[in-house]
Amino acid sequence: MDRENIGILIVDDELSVRDSLTKWFEADGYRVDSAESAAAAMVKLREQAWDVILLDIKMPGMDGIEFNRHIKQVDKDIIVIIMTAYASVDTAVEALKDGVFDYVVKPIDPDDFTHIIRNALEKRRLSQENVQLRQKIEDLTTPDEIIGTSPKLKRVMEMIASVAGTDATVMIRGESGSGKELVARAIHSNSPRRYAPIISINCGAITDTLLESELFGHEKGAFTGAISQRKGKLERGDKGTVFFDEIGNISLKMQMDLLRVIETKQFCRVGSDKPINVDFRIISATNKNLEEAITHGEFREDLYFRLNVFTIDIPPIRERQEDIPLLANYFLRNCANSMAKNVNGISEDAMKMLLKYEWPGNVRELRNVVERAVVLAPSDIIQPGDLSFPFAYRQKEPGGDTLDEAEKVHIARILDRVEWNISQAANILGIDRTTLYSKIKKFQLSKKN
């Protein structure tokens, strides 16, 4: 920061002190002003921002110790240095307890004074830099890819918001590609642990032996190839979050080891018997039916209950069809920007195809399809011919998978067929009018449906 942008306010009832310090700091190039009392200083404090305040203890009216408390109420980050001609251990302790940066006895050696001011400004700079970096971290870690306005997704967002601030262990369930890691990152970045890292471990992608070394780290020479000491992911996740993806894929032995770590928050590196204490939050994810795995003896029940304190179920994209246009357009904008391609829309017919597709690969598949289309599109609008699906194009069965969804679609079709003649529709459906009205209300059907 340029010195002219650093403001120093001198508060002392002695004119000679104010004048001499003003000259001293002016020569250093700082923006300097002075006040003869706490009341006058309070006016200047409200008018302008100050980085450092040099404060005399003994002043008529409010003394320096008391005024320091007022300063901290206006801006707790202002550096306050107390000056006194009468050194007293009690007042020095009181001042330092109240957050005063330093306590100097007049007269002070010029070199000491220069160092105190330099250290004070360095502290101020570091605390401002800290605030800026935290803001940058928040900007970088704020999840911006959880897109959608459907009630089911809103429910997921509400659950993220309610669990993030706690330290509860979270299990995320959802089909492959539904965005489980995004949800884990959203929980982490909204939690008090957000300034520490989130460490992801894909349990399905590595063998048991490797997983052990990955999780716990190893000492030099612990096994062939261990040419140096290495910290494991649990150690690197200290104070942060550890995300176990595909937790349903780990072996029974690793389940036991993991359970022990979760219970004791302690482990040893491979090849060492020295325990390491860690503090991390666990978020796990799976697309497996763990309850079923427990009944088959493939997953430990005690670990299941440890991991499954709070569950978030991510709906597959076919259950939140209204989010498809939002997601598709979001992926299109991102991809077109990063590739500098002039593609800015999806035609109505292409969107209809996206809406009718079953999306077995969920949001990940939708993103891939849109990105591929952006690359291939010869014009600025994506057309049906630009879309290619990794799986054979399978239209979604009308009505979806559940009985409720099938019933909704069937009632809507009958109502449309009889142009919403309730008596006629009830007759065809074999139910009475009251039941039909309650079904219409339940499924939120209307003529436009």
Partner 1 sequence: MTPSKLYIIPIELTDVSVIDPLFTILAQCFRLNTALYRKPIALDRAYDPKRNQYYSSEILAQIINDPPPDAFRVLGVVGLDIYIPVLTYLYGEAQFKGLGALTSTFRLNPGFYGNPEDPHLLQDRLVKEAVHEVGHTYGLIHCSHPACVMSSSTYIEDVDEKTASFCKSCHERLAAFPLRQESPL
Surface-to-core class of residue 402, CB atoms within 10 Å of its CB (0-12 exposed, 13-18 middle, 19+ buried): exposed
Name beta bridge partners: 282: 242
Half-sphere exposure of 291 (CA within 13 A, CB side): 2
Q: Is the CB of 110 or the CB of 430 nearer to partner 1?
A: 110
Identify whether the C-beta of residue 85 lies closer than 8 Å to the C-beta of residue 106: yes
Least distance CB 95 / partner 1 (angstroms): 17
The residues near 334 (Cβ < 8 Å, ≥ 6 apart) are none
Least distance CB 145 / partner 1 (angstroms): 46
Q: Is the CB of 3 or the CB of 410 nearer to partner 1?
A: 3
Q: Element (H or E) spanning 105, and its range?
A: strand 102-105
Least distance CB 120 / partner 1 (angstroms): 15
Least distance CB 57 / partner 1 (angstroms): 13
Q: Is the CB of 31 or the CB of 188 nearer to partner 1?
A: 31
* Contact set with partner 1 (CB under 8 A): 3, 14, 16-17, 19-21, 23-24, 26-29, 83, 106-111, 113-114
Least distance CB 28 / partner 1 (angstroms): 5
Classify 58 as helix, strand or coil: coil
Least distance CB 73 / partner 1 (angstroms): 27
Q: Is the CB of 17 or the CB of 411 nearer to partner 1?
A: 17
Classify 267 as helix, strand or coil: strand
Q: Is the CB of 9 or the CB of 314 nearer to partner 1?
A: 9
Surface-to-core class of residue 226, CB atoms within 10 Å of its CB (0-12 exposed, 13-18 middle, 19+ buried): middle
Identify whether the C-beta of residue 380 lies closer than 8 Å to the C-beta of residue 342: yes
Amino acid, single-letter form, for residue 146 = I
| Phi and psi at residue 267, to the nearest 5° | -160, 170
Q: Is the CB of 108 or the CB of 133 nearer to partner 1?
A: 108
Least distance CB 104 / partner 1 (angstroms): 8
Q: Cα–Cα distance between 159 and 172 in angstroms, integer?
A: 11
DSSP output for 239-264:
TSEEEEETGGGS-HHHHHHHHHHHHH
Cα–chain center distance at 432:
51
Least distance CB 19 / partner 1 (angstroms): 6
Identify whether the C-beta of residue 372 lies closer than 8 Å to the C-beta of residue 388: yes
Q: Is the CB of 121 or the CB of 332 nearer to partner 1?
A: 121
Least distance CB 51 / partner 1 (angstroms): 17
Least distance CB 108 / partner 1 (angstroms): 6
The residue to which tokens 């300097």 are assigned: 32
Residue 159: how many other CB atoms lie within 10 Å: 19
Q: Is the CB of 15 or the CB of 39 nearer to partner 1?
A: 15
Q: Cα–Cα distance between 79 and 81 in angstroms, integer?
A: 7
Residue 358: how many other CB atoms lie within 10 Å: 17
Strands 275-277 and 266-268: antiparallel
Least distance CB 113 / partner 1 (angstroms): 6
The residues near 215 (Cβ < 8 Å, ≥ 6 apart) are 201, 232, 233, 234, 254, 257, 258, 261, 267
Q: Is the CB of 84 or the CB of 189 nearer to partner 1?
A: 84
**How many residues are given for the chain?**
449
Least distance CB 378 / partner 1 (angstroms): 57
Q: Cα–Cα distance between 365 and 343 in angstroms, integer?
A: 19
Q: Is the CB of 59 or the CB of 278 nearer to partner 1?
A: 59
Q: Is the CB of 113 or the CB of 299 nearer to partner 1?
A: 113
Q: Is the CB of 33 or the CB of 181 nearer to partner 1?
A: 33
